[in-house]
Amino acid sequence: MNDMHACKPKILMDLESLNATNALGCPACGRKFSLGDSAVLACGAWGSGPRYIHENEAVKDSKTSQYFERGYYMSLKEDA
C-alpha cells in the first residue's frame, strides 16, 4: 500500500480488510477496526507510506484530495 493511487482511498472494513489491517490496528489511534468501519488511506508520521486509518482520525486536504492523519496534518500546516 505504498502508492496512494493503487488502492481505494476510502473503504468500509470487510473481513478481508480486517484480516489485513487488524494485526497492528489503526496507526492513528491504536484501536482495532470493526466490520463496517469507514477507513481512509492516509499519510502520517509513521513514515512507512500511506496506511488505512479510521476516517474520523483523518483530514482530507482540499488541494491534493489526499487524506492525512489529523495530528500529522496540523504539524505540516504549522511548519508552512
Using one digit for the tens of pLDDT, what is the confidence trace for 11-27?
Answer: 999 999 999 999 989 99
In contact, 27 and 7? CB cutoff 8 Å: no
Residue written as grid cell 486509518: 53
Grade residue 48 by pLDDT with cuts at 50, 70 and 90.
confident
d(CA 42, CA 66): 7
C-alpha cell at 28: 492513528
Q: What is the mean pLDDT of residues 41-59?
A: 93
Grade residue 2 by pLDDT with cuts at 50, 70 and 90.
very low
pLDDT digits 0-9 by tens, 67-78: 999 999 999 888
